[in-house]
Amino acid sequence: MNFRRLAPTILNIFIFLGLLCWFIKPAMAAEQTQNYYSGPVSSIGSFVSNIWNYNSQSISYIRELIGSVLSKGDQATSSSSDPTSIVKADEINEIQKIITTTRPSLEQLASKPIVKQLNNQSSSADLSDKISKTQNIADSLYGSLQNLKSRSLILEKKWSTLNQKEIQSELTTLSNIFKQDVSGGDTNIIAYSGWLKTSWNNPILLNLSDQALAAQSQINNLINDISLYNSAKVDTFKPALGHIQKLDGLVGSSLATSSDLNLFGFIKKTTEQVALLDKQIQEADKILAEYKSDPSVDRTQSIDKLAAQVISSSLVPRVDQFPFPTTSSKIITPVNKILSLKALSDAGRRLLTTNNGQVITTIWLAEVNTIHTLVVNPNQTPQTASLKFALPPELKMEQIKNHDRGLNIVFDSTEDALIVSGEISLNALETRSLTLETDNIWNLNQEDIDNLKNQADELLGYLGNTSYFSQAISIKNQLGALDEVLLKQKQSVTPEEKIVTFREISIEINQVEEKINSLRSLALNAQNSGDVLGYASGIHPLTLWGIIAVIIACLIFGVIYISALRSEFKLNRAGVLPPPESPTLNHARPRYHHREKSNHRARKFTKIITFALIFGGLGSLGTSLILTYGSQVPLSQITAPKPQKVLGSSTEKSYPYESRLRLPNSGYITVHTAPLLTSPQVTLLTDTSTVLVFKSIDHWVQIGLSNDDQSKNWWISDIYLEK
């Protein structure tokens, strides 16, 4: 192979590659240009302009790049032995393990009831079914009594014309109507009246049952007398007929009004009472919703109007102690008053739902972290109420601040919650309110949310001058839930809403904590990648393969085009060369040959430069777009990176050491069971000034009030320690 022929080709290839690298370099720097470009991208032209302007920084960029890689190498070398570096692999693994084990419990907690009654009381939702069944019984009784009354009147009228056997047969038919059971169930007059007596605490229904039993008893006595004495006078039938007529009057008809003292009147009155109670509950919910939309508006007039309606129509006896203030604080807030009114209406529904004279309990949550229990004895005789309900599973024994006497609190492994129980003695028609106060564990401090944001910003700033910055930005953009957490918490009005919201946002924060831990993993990778290959390892695979594809394509087309230029040059040169010299003629050597050769080389070099400019520019733009969209990070969301720094203290303290606390604006510090914001809460620190620090993990410290508390595993955020 003739090296002389290959030399121009090799030279042209090197020239092309040099130009290509010069023009492709801005594309390789496009991602860094995005980081330093803080304004909006108005067009592709402005984006390309920023890339080209980056050429002026080429020398300083390379110097900074090399310095960054070398500094990262030094940092990685020192981080293996320096315990104060930004992150540690064992801490990342420990935090991730806590996050993984905490999330299932948070998800299960979201579906659990806030307070669960365990004494099998009927719910208010059963009231509509009870009224519907009563209506069906009334219709059936009306039909049966019409038949019974008609036959009884005919028997009385024809008594003197009938023989004893005919009278006995007709009396037996009347007796069977009382206890007839066609369908195999308790569908006769006696069974129906007995169900009404035991299901409703009402004197009308009690009298109805007594009249049915008395009428049947009188008829059965007449049948026995005829069997024994073979005779019976019509006067002996009149008492039974009187009970039947009273029974008919107590049942009434569908035309009865709510003021009529019969079964149909009772049903209409009860239906109206239920509608009124439901309306009162809806009005209470409406006022609470108005408080939620605008808490600054004074709604005292609306609350007082509702209170007058509820108390005047209340089915709860002796409500003179309304609105049942809390045990210790005695604070009656507007929201608490509305919740108490709503509880009274709900207690009325429960009184209508339960069986005759049974004690009912209504439980509701109030502000100031108080759980109320309303116990009502609707009977005319003293009774004992058996209380048993489960507290919210989040509560621990240490978080119970105060409770009324007679309430016992123990942990139940079956319910996995604290159980409140007690035997409460009640006088006739007595109503009592029992309270239990707890710590406020369903609230997040602003400082804790800000701390999570600061952690993400610090990690992002550390990763700013590394190849992991685009991945860090992508993770950071997924932390938007933090901005909505406190807003959701603020919009919750009732204690039930606050607990439900807290459970929901705890799951969201747990996901945020996992994202932040992912940033720590990237920071650890940045610490450990101390060479050029480590710098390139953070490039997205799509970006890397895109760069390779663009370079290979440009190289192939460049070689093909240069080969074509060489072929054209050879043909042109062959066409302009003079014929071989004749031995007889001595022609003068053409003087234009050198000039044409020089012009042709200039044109060829110009074409090569033009080609390199075109494909280099296309390669630069293509690589820029690949870098831009390969990272999947919108330009508008990328901010200039912060200067690289190593986080953490440079000095290590020996454990345990004493530290002073700094209380947040809320006035308390939440203590957790693990170094995680969504881990279970243990207690609140309100008046503690100093603590002992036993251990630190990331932004968390294990604390105690004495050396004996190390086994308690108490954790707080380190932002509450005075620096």
Residue 4 is predicted with a pLDDT of 47
256 is a domain residue: no
DSSP notation for 83-134 = TTSS--HHHHHHHHHHHHHHHHHHHHHHTS-SSEE-S-PPPGGGHHHHHHHH
Residue burial 620-632, b: 16+ Cβ < 10 Å; e: rest: bbbbbbbbbebbe
Residue 395 lies in a domain: no
**Rounded mean pLDDT, 396-409:** 92
Mean pLDDT on 391-401: 92
CATH number of domain containing 705 = 2.30.30
Does pLDDT of 296 surpass 80? yes
Q: At what angle do helices 481-491 and 495-528 cross, to 10 degrees?
A: 170
For residues 682-696, give the mean pLDDT. 88
Residue type, 439: D
- Do 311 and 230 lie in one domain? The reply is no
The full DSSP string for 654-670 is PSSEEEEB---TTS-EE
How far from 488 is each of 177, 485, 506, 513, CA to CA, in Å? 63, 5, 12, 18
User: What is the structure's pLDDT at 698?
Assistant: 81
pLDDT surpassing 70 at residue 311: yes
The most confident of the ranges 35-49, 93-107, 223-237, 553-567 is 93-107
pLDDT at 160: 86
* Of 218, 251, 284, the domain-final residue: 251
R_g of the chain, CA atoms, integer Å: 45
Most confident of 29-33, 74-78, 209-213: 209-213
Burial of 332 (0-12, 13-18, 19+ CB in 10 A): middle
Domain boundary among 325, 352, 379: 352
Q: Is 674 inside any structural domain?
A: yes
The three-state secondary structure class of 343 is helix
Q: What is the mean pLDDT of residues 218-243?
A: 86
The predicted-structure confidence for 137-149, as pLDDT tens digits, reads as follows 999 999 989 999 9
Query: Do both 26 and 81 map to the same domain?
Result: yes
Q: How many domains does the chain have?
A: 5
In-domain check, residue 360: no
Whether 193 is covered by a domain: the verdict is yes
Residue at 195: amino acid letter: W
If one compares 107 and 698, the residue with the highest pLDDT of the two is: 107
Same domain, 625 and 670: no
CA distance 188 to 176: 9
Whether the CB-CB separation of 142 and 255 falls below 8 Å is answered with: no
Same domain, 62 and 108: no
Residue 564 confidence class, pLDDT cut points 50, 70, 90: low
Query: Tokens standing for 665?
Result: 């604006």
Task: Classify 702 as helix, strand or coil.
Answer: strand
Q: In the structure, what pLDDT confidence band is assigned to residue 357 with cuts at 50, 70 and 90?
A: confident
CATH code for position 212: 1.20.120
Which amino acid does the sequence have at 305? K
Specify the pairing of strand 669-672 against strand 681-685.
antiparallel
- 549 plus 525 within the same structural domain: no
The 3-state DSSP class for residue 5 equals helix
Sheet holding 360-366, edge to edge: 360-366, 370-376, 431-438, 400-403
In a shared domain, residues 138 and 231: yes
Do both 246 and 145 map to the same domain? yes
Asked, for residue 44, whether it belongs to a domain, the answer is yes
pLDDT bin (cut points 50, 70, 90) of residue 473 is: confident
Task: Determine the Cα–Cα distance for residues 213 and 375; give it in Å rounded to an integer.
Answer: 34
Sheet containing 116-117, strands listed edge to edge, beginning at the edge strand earlier in sequence = 116-117, 383-390, 417-426, 408-412
- pTM (whole model) above 0.75: no
Per the domain annotation, does 428 fall within a domain?
no
Q: What does the pLDDT look like over 605-637, one tens digit per residue?
A: 666 666 665 666 666 556 555 555 544 444 334
- Are 404 and 387 within 8 A, CB to CB? no
Render pLDDT for 325-346 as a digit per residue (tens, 0 to 9).
Answer: 544 445 578 888 899 999 999 9
* 147 lies in the same domain as 105: no
Same domain? For 131 and 215 the reply is: yes
Is residue 368 in a domain?
Answer: no
Residues of the chain above pLDDT 70, percent = 67
> What's the mean pLDDT when you consider all of the chain?
76
Single out the residue in 326, 352, 378 at which a domain terminates. 352
Residue 172 and residue 285 in one domain: no
Return the structure tokens found at 493.
């009005």
User: Is there a single domain that holds both residue 170 and residue 286?
Assistant: no
The range of the structural domain enclosing residue 276 comes to 265-352
**Alpha-carbon distance 459 to 476, whole Å?**
10
**Phi, psi torsion values for 111, nearest 5 degrees:** -95, 0
d(CA 51, CA 617): 11
Residues 134 and 238 in one domain: yes
Q: Which of 380-389, 486-495, 498-507, 591-600 has the lowest mean pLDDT?
A: 591-600
